[in-house]
Amino acid sequence: MSVPIRKPSPQTVQEPVHTEDEQIIAWIKDPGTVDRGFRALLAKYQERLYWHVRRLVIEHEDTNDVVQECLVKVYRKIGSFRKDSGLYTWLYRIATNEALSFLRKQKRKATRSIDDEELLLAEKLKADAYFDGDAAQLHLQRAVAQLPDKQRAVFNLRYFEEMSYQDMSEVLSTSTGALKASYHHAVKKIEKSMVATEPN
């Protein structure tokens, strides 16, 4: 049986040698090397974008749909990419918007209340064949699932990806001050939830 791939932690990750963003952009802008550039972009970023979307959308199948849609959109829009924003933050912005848009659509379709929907999101983790976290990780993900969608994005980007507030500000089009406040608030809520469920 083959072993599923787990996301490596930021602390242990050994970055493979990837092409520099500037080179990727140069290849993509040249009609003769656009495919080479896009392949390099996928090699460098598709996994990172997948894990980012997965933490927001939770289920693998939904994540797969959102990420494919996002990467196709990236290919179609890459011509309009401007160098004054980083490729990395531009990609994360598209992925985050796609994921948040997917979640909004799901909520509109559902007849349940938003509170029920967030609880359901937490319950999906249990049923997901590709969630193999232990009790502590499950508890953390359930607490994160209770946060509003955009606050979840803020929490995940900081906690799991160690993204700076400045980069997050470009991704989420929000001021760094508001992002700090949102992250601190999210962290406090999760800490409270952890303390409340600790065994006496």
Q: Which residues contact another protein by CB under 8 A?
A: 2-12, 38-39, 42-43, 46-47, 50-51, 54-55, 60, 64, 67-68, 71-73, 75-77, 80-82, 93-94, 97, 101, 105, 130-134, 136-138, 140-141, 158-164, 167, 173, 184, 187-188, 190-191, 194-195, 198
- Least CB distance from residue 26 to another protein, whole Å? 19
- Least CB distance from residue 174 to another protein, whole Å? 12
- Least CB distance from residue 132 to another protein, whole Å? 6
How many whole angstroms separate alpha carbon 173 and alpha carbon 97? 11
Cβ proximity to another protein: between 18 and 105 the closer is 105
Task: Report which of 48, 144, 153, 165 is spatially closest to residue 104, judged by C-alpha positions.
Answer: 153
- Least CB distance from residue 116 to another protein, whole Å? 21
Cβ proximity to another protein: between 23 and 51 the closer is 51
- Least CB distance from residue 112 to another protein, whole Å? 19
Cβ proximity to another protein: between 38 and 119 the closer is 38
- With contact defined as beta carbons under 8 Å apart, do 168 and 18 qualify? no
Cβ proximity to another protein: between 18 and 39 the closer is 39
From residue 113, how far is each of 34, 86, 104, 153 by CA, in Å? 45, 38, 13, 21
How many whole angstroms separate alpha carbon 64 and alpha carbon 113? 26
Q: Which two tokens stand for residue 114?
A: 């938003």
- Determine whether 5 is exposed, middle or buried from the number of CB atoms within 10 Å of its CB (0-12, 13-18, 19+): exposed
Enter the DSSP assignment of 59: S
Q: What is the radius of gyration, based on Cα positions, of the chain? A: 18
- Least CB distance from residue 17 to another protein, whole Å? 17
Cβ proximity to another protein: between 24 and 71 the closer is 71
Q: Which two tokens stand for residue 164?
A: 């700076």
From residue 161, how far is each of 72, 89, 153 by CA, in Å? 23, 13, 11
Cβ proximity to another protein: between 118 and 141 the closer is 141
